[in-house]
Structure 1
């Protein structure tokens, strides 16, 4: 099954509603369920309650000095580009929350490859708990024969290679999402070439599950989802393990990132060395890639489904310190430490079905800048 078909599987999200015991407000327009904006402008980070997912502080664009007159242009752009959900948080508080068409705030949506961020942080947690070390060979947790390579070549591939897209596995195979051994063959030595190869990434889920000797969803729920009040579920779709959740749950994960793995005093990921490596250039082959995180503000970048190196910043209109989860059909989770902003976009493809970054990123940030500057 091709990954481009996954978006059609959003109907699966209805089974996820039971993942959260609380329902969220139905839409931005339902003002009766939205808490009043706070004043004066708070500067400390706000963490929405874990027990009440419908409770979330807001703050007005007027109080922030943002240009509210330009919001209608942003909404028009989002609507004509097949957006379902859009959120902007400032210091954890909701400034903009908008749903389009029949999509509601308690509807679940596929993160697609934006969910790689979840797996990356969970890998760091597993390492912190001494279940694994990212310098370990992948074979230590998958066993010998997870590929069709000779064992000498197989042992050269590490968990870190999986996190950085530098396994050297053959990406010219018919299906780069395939995780069957016959799909996993040698092309380059590990750490010598960068290519966005999804199969080796997906196998990280089995690495974590085998290392922790627990179900992958259960470990994720215990370590990240429940402690920060997310809901949602990883669902096997073809070869891929796709996360489905509400837009607000994605926003919660964004807050966790901006606070470097800490949630309101509770340490979710305390290993700052890992966090910094995860959200900064992880290798010299693609400066715009960390541990499964996309990075802005670098001099060059590479894109999925391409061997080309491009000059310039990944998203020129966005702040240089932005890092992100970017998924098929323009699923976006942007985090900007310098501005204390989290931006979430869920929906259908804006134009082309691209696996991660797209022209939509730059166009969207042009409109955001007009509002916040």
Structure 2
């Protein structure tokens, strides 16, 4: 067990990237049964957002303070729970506010996954085609025959076969052969080449296409900011919650299908037979085993044991979180600094946090 925990901690270290209430007007609670009430979507052109009280849901108000204390102790900046789209909890810590932007880190991989799917549904690309069809050959230092094995889907599923031990730079010199595409799962920054694929296929910049096709349609704010070798998304917590709400509704936003539902179902289910807990840049709970970055070891059991089995999630460096739970109609957001002063996107923090969330909601 000690060896397993050490390996888990070591692997996770490589995974890229006074509490207050929100001051927006609180609307009257909706008193329908939460299992039958309609899904709510906030207006895309307004920050007004309907709320639902903990008492109306029958949740445990006496457990809330323990959850908030834990979040504050663990360096959180913001926390939101949506149930059926309505805000049940919205809390900010250490001077962070509802209008303060923060980075998504690798939780933003799910944005790339979604926009790639949008580009496919519009006929600009096919994820089963090789990457070089869109950005030309020589984007790796692999032999051409091996490079041509790498499809867009391989980038979505982390099965490019490229050597993941060479760092985050995605220049050709750093993209070297390790195995044939599709035969090895390894967490690799090469997924960002999908942004180049989308830009080339649509003849727009990545940011332009993202803003028009996703951000603006669901009322998000925020921008892509260059950080080292990555373009990292920064937004408010509510913008992250909007994306989570769209994900909860299988890619639909208030009656408009933003991303093809079949693609989104594929994105949030097991995408290959090596790491069962990985979709198209989404992490999946409830599987019988999982892999973690920088190790080829298979760990048995669920990704986050205390969380619901049907949960899928976006996980980023320093514990940026989007948890989506279809069975409970929940979206939960956590932004902040690293919970335990280490750069983990998945750690014991997730499991303990879910234990405290469960105490409130169950």
Whether TM-score is above 0.5 comes out as yes
Deviation for aligned residue 1:110: 0.3
Mapped pair 1:240 → 2:230: yes
Structure 1 216/110 Cα, relative in aligned 2: closer, same or farther at 3 Å?
same
| TM-score normalized with structure 1 length | 0.90
In the TM superposition, what whole-angstrom CA distance separates every residue of 1:86-123 from its partner, at most 9, and x where no partner exists?
Answer: 00000000000000011001000000000011110111
In the TM superposition, what whole-angstrom CA distance separates every residue of 1:220-259 from its partner, at most 9, and x where no partner exists?
Answer: 1111111110001111111111000000001001110111
Distance, in Å, in 1 between the alignment partners of 2:104 and 2:162 is: 25
Q: Is contact 1:27–1:105 with CA below 8 Å preserved after alignment?
A: no
Mapped pair 1:179 → 2:170: yes
Q: Is contact 1:328–1:353 with CA below 8 Å preserved after alignment?
A: no
**1:181-330 counterparts in 2 under 5 A?**
181-198=172-189, 200-269=190-259, 271-330=260-319
Distance, in Å, in 1 between the alignment partners of 2:94 and 2:25 is: 20
| Structure 1: gaps of 5 or more residues | 8-25
Deviation for aligned residue 1:164: 0.3
Mapped pair 1:38 → 2:25: no
Provide the secondary structure at the position in 2 that maps to 1:94. Answer: strand
Structure 1 188/29 Cα, relative in aligned 2: closer, same or farther at 3 Å?
closer
Distance, in Å, in 2 between the alignment partners of 1:28 and 1:35 is: 14
Distance, in Å, in 2 between the alignment partners of 1:158 and 1:208 is: 13
Deviation for aligned residue 1:306: 2.3
**1:335-354 counterparts in 2 under 5 A?**
335-351=324-340, 353-354=342-343
Mapped pair 1:136 → 2:129: yes
Distance, in Å, in 2 between the alignment partners of 1:267 and 1:62 is: 33
Correspondence for 2:45 among 33, 51, 56:
51
In the TM superposition, what whole-angstrom CA distance separates every residue of 1:274-300 from its partner, at most 9, and x where no partner exists?
Answer: 111100000000000000000000000
Distance, in Å, in 1 between the alignment partners of 2:87 and 2:154 is: 37
The alignment yields a C-alpha RMSD, in angstroms, of: 1.7
Deviation for aligned residue 1:203: 1.1
Deviation for aligned residue 1:345: 0.1
Distance, in Å, in 1 between the alignment partners of 2:104 and 2:342 is: 14
Which structure has more relative contact order (CA 8 Å, sep 6+)? It is 2
Provide the secondary structure at the position in 2 that maps to 1:283. Answer: coil
Partner in structure 1 of residue 5 of structure 2: none
Q: Is contact 2:22–2:90 with CA below 8 Å preserved after alignment?
A: no
Distance, in Å, in 2 between the alignment partners of 1:28 and 1:364 is: 20
| TM-score normalized with structure 2 length | 0.92
Correspondence for 1:67 among 53, 60, 66:
60
Provide the secondary structure at the position in 1 that maps to 2:334. Answer: strand
Q: Is contact 2:129–2:151 with CA below 8 Å preserved after alignment?
A: yes
| Structure 2: gaps of 5 or more residues | 1-12
Q: Is contact 2:22–2:97 with CA below 8 Å preserved after alignment?
A: no
Correspondence for 1:79 among 53, 63, 72:
72
Distance, in Å, in 2 between the alignment partners of 1:227 and 1:166 is: 31
Partner in structure 2 of residue 19 of structure 1: none
Deviation for aligned residue 1:356: 2.8
In the TM superposition, what whole-angstrom CA distance separates every residue of 1:192-217 from its partner, at most 9, and x where no partner exists?
Answer: 1111111x111111111111110111
Q: Is contact 1:304–1:355 with CA below 8 Å preserved after alignment?
A: no
Count of equivalent residues: 346
Partner in structure 2 of residue 16 of structure 1: none
In the TM superposition, what whole-angstrom CA distance separates every residue of 1:166-197 from its partner, at most 9, and x where no partner exists?
Answer: 00001122x1x111110001011111111111
Provide the secondary structure at the position in 2 that maps to 1:287. Answer: coil
Q: Which runs of 4+ in 1 moved over 4 A?
A: none
Provide the secondary structure at the position in 2 that maps to 1:70. Answer: helix
